[in-house]
A = this chain, B = another copy of it.
């Protein structure tokens, strides 16, 4: 392992920055087969409904949220994690204390390999 493959969830100097929506900011870590995204969501901030062909997993590291996926809403809190199959519409709205979510994309989402804004192609 070299330093280029070792990171910390809380080191804000690391990762490719992307403002997914107002108050929903992430840092992207691309691999060859998977891509990690450390998303910080301000209190009560929310994304927009979108989908992509890649499989996604989300892990709630801090806080709470309402996860919307495939037309249903789920209350999620720290320690919960979930799978989002490719092509399934989804979004999230943080609870009153905000949220930190680790997302995994497999395979990587090419549109997230550079800094930018938005959720990419829906």
Q: Which residue numbers of A lie inside 8 Å of B, CB to CB?
A: 1-2, 5-10, 29, 31-34, 36, 54-55, 57, 59, 67, 69-70, 72, 74, 76, 79-86, 88, 90, 102, 104, 106-107
User: B55, B83, B104: which contacts A57 (Cβ < 8 A)?
Assistant: B104
Complex copy number for this chain: 2
- Main secondary structure, interface of A, reads strand
Q: Are A1 and B74 in contact (CB under 8 A)?
A: yes
Q: Are B81 and A57 in contact (CB under 8 A)?
A: no
User: B9, B57, B88, B90: which contacts A31 (Cβ < 8 A)?
Assistant: B57
Query: Which chain B positions have C-beta within 8 A of A5?
Result: 69, 82-85
When C-beta atoms are compared, the residue in chain B nearest to A68 turns out to be B1
